[in-house]
Amino acid sequence: MEFKNSQKLYNKGLVNLVGAVNSPVRAFSSVGGNPLFIKKAKGTKITDVDNNTFVDLVLSYGPMILGHRHKKVQKAIDKALKNGYTFGASTKNEIKLAKIVCDAFPGMDKVRFVNSGTEAVLSALRLARAFTGKDKIIKFSGCYHGHSDALLVAAGSGLATLSLPGSKGVPEGAVKNTLIANYNDLESVKAHFENHDDIAGVILEPVAGNMGVVTPKDDFLKELKNYLESKNALLIVDEVMTGFRSKFGGAQELFDVEADITCLGKVIGGGFPVGAYGARNEIMEMVSPLGGMYQAGTLSGNPIAMAAGISTLTELKKQNPYKQFNEIASKLETVLLESAKKHNIDLVVNRFGSMVNPFFTKIKVTNFEEAQTADTEKFAVFFWEMIKNGVFLPPSQFEAWFLSSALTEKDLEKTSKAIEAGMLAISKM
């Protein structure tokens, strides 16, 4: 398999793009080598500029849950394009998609569409502060919520420390109201409340997807929600990644928890830039033009994105592929573990719905610290062997693999053979 044209484009891109990419993970920094440049995609397959075709388990990091260019979604997009691209005014489809989303999330009466998950989250935090009249937000180490200043923070050495900026250009003042807790550790949350009386709420991914796939322990989410209610603080659930990926609606419902504010993205846009935040009426009525919390966006509710979202969610509800997703994920877990055992490689596999992640470690992964015990050098070898054998993975040990409802038995056979090749390559390190 050759990557000559990707190499040429990478060299050319270095001139006018930062690192030849527009998002850091695409740079392949954690796996070595140069990034692949993609030409097209259809169904379960993605093709690079060297005409190498791969089974796609990235799916644009989640949105393409029906596979690429699903015929019904494509038809809806084509129809919308004929009417114009953007109006800066309201359209009927904004109302239609809002109803689909709100109906899928108990406790969500109103939603506001934005253009990205980052935008949804930063707006949700502002809303939580506006509603409670408090300033501080607790986030969990290893949970990623976009690149807004207040959330680009790294945990300190203690459980109840103030955060430090996790990126250059983020002033300490921007993160002074952000506190760090440990995922799956309620006591680390309580420690902050013991030291601060101005905490507006806690934000978390119900299933963490940016430290790998890490699920909540036992009744962690329920106990967290109950505790927050006792403190008059809000639970902000970031379902940008998990929304519509484990059921038609949110992962929170599977854990018997109802968020005060929910953030969405990815799947609800069907591949177009869409984010959203929603809540019950008393909270959402704080948002302008009904209330004093200001948030706006010229391209919010873009008509093409709304059409793609409506079509995607309508088809997804019709297909109801969630049992299928669990079965496929279970098969992949078995293949991964059996192949690793055959080659005497330490491996644990975490999965949830249509999200899967193998960790090259021997310990169970329930938080960011444990995830970091994974051997990233082994993952890099595994990644490139998967690429060479026709399977496109996220280029990071700490990113989830995503499944689409278009996956076939032939795709799974190819993926299984690639996994075996990857484990064999690791055994020769």
pLDDT in tens, 21-36: 999 889 998 899 999 9
Domain identity same for 183 and 271: yes
Helix axis angle, 186-195 relative to 220-230, nearest 10°? 20
CATH number at residue 328: 3.90.1150.10
Bridge partner residues of 173 (DSSP): none
- Residue 149's pLDDT band, with cuts at 50, 70 and 90, is confident
Cβ distance 115 to 264 under 8 Å? no
| Burial (CB count <10 Å: 0-12, 13-18, 19+), residue 133 | exposed
Domain identity same for 58 and 153: no
Per-residue model confidence (pLDDT) at position 260: 98
In our burial notation (b when 16+ CB lie closer than 10 A, e otherwise), range 95-132 reads: ebbbebbbebbebbebbbbbbbbbbbbbbbbbbbbbbb
Residue 23 Cα distances to 107, 185, 200, 222, 376, angstroms: 34, 31, 31, 35, 20
Domain identity same for 230 and 353: no
Q: What is the pLDDT of residues 324-373, one digit of tens each?
A: 999 999 999 999 999 999 999 999 999 999 999 999 999 999 998 999 99
Tokens of 149: 């200043």
Domain identity same for 93 and 193: yes
Residue 159: is its pLDDT beyond 60? no
What range does the domain containing 365 cover?
Answer: 4-69+321-427
Rg (CA), the chain: 21
- Furthest-apart CA pair in the chain: how many Å? 63
Tokens of 428: 């020769």
Per-residue model confidence (pLDDT) at position 165: 57
Residue 386: is its pLDDT beyond 90? yes
Residue 157: is its pLDDT beyond 70? no
Per-residue model confidence (pLDDT) at position 162: 42
Residues belonging to the active site: 144, 238, 266
Q: Which of 318, 337, 359 is the last residue of a domain?
A: 318
Domain identity same for 286 and 385: no
Domain identity same for 47 and 169: no
Going across the sheet that includes 136-140, the strands are 110-114, 275-279, 261-264, 234-238, 199-204, 136-140, 178-181
- Residue 155's pLDDT band, with cuts at 50, 70 and 90, is very low
Q: How many residues does the chain have?
A: 429
CATH number at residue 133: 3.40.640.10
Per-residue model confidence (pLDDT) at position 161: 35
Q: What is the pLDDT of residues 177-207, one digit of tens each?
A: 999 999 999 999 999 999 999 999 999 999 9
**Beta carbons within 10 angstroms of residue 218's beta carbon:** 9
* Residue keyed to tokens 């098969």: 331
Domain identity same for 18 and 157: no
Residue 245 Cα distances to 140, 352, 356, angstroms: 22, 9, 11
Residue 386 Cα distances to 49, 63, 136, 217, 317, angstroms: 18, 22, 43, 31, 32
Fill in the amino acid letter for 300.
S
Q: Which of 289, 318, 347 is the last residue of a domain?
A: 318
Q: Which of 295, 318, 341 is the last residue of a domain?
A: 318
* Residue keyed to tokens 């699903």: 70
Domain identity same for 290 and 336: no
Going across the sheet that includes 355-359, the strands are 348-352, 355-359, 401-402
Domain identity same for 84 and 221: yes
Tokens of 132: 């409670």
Domain identity same for 133 and 264: yes
Q: Which helix (H) or strand (E) holds 262?
A: strand 261-264
Residue 138: is its pLDDT beyond 60? yes
Residue 102: is its pLDDT beyond 80? yes
- The number of domains in the chain is 2
Per-residue model confidence (pLDDT) at position 144: 87
What does the alpha-carbon distance between residue 424 and residue 277 come to, in Å, rounded to a whole number?
45
Per-residue model confidence (pLDDT) at position 167: 75
Residue 408: is its pLDDT beyond 70? yes
What is the pLDDT of the chain when averaged over all its residues?
Answer: 94
Domain identity same for 47 and 109: no
Per-residue model confidence (pLDDT) at position 24: 87
- Residue 164's pLDDT band, with cuts at 50, 70 and 90, is low
Domain identity same for 296 and 415: no
3-state helix, strand, coil in the chain (%, to 5): 40, 15, 40
Per-residue model confidence (pLDDT) at position 10: 97
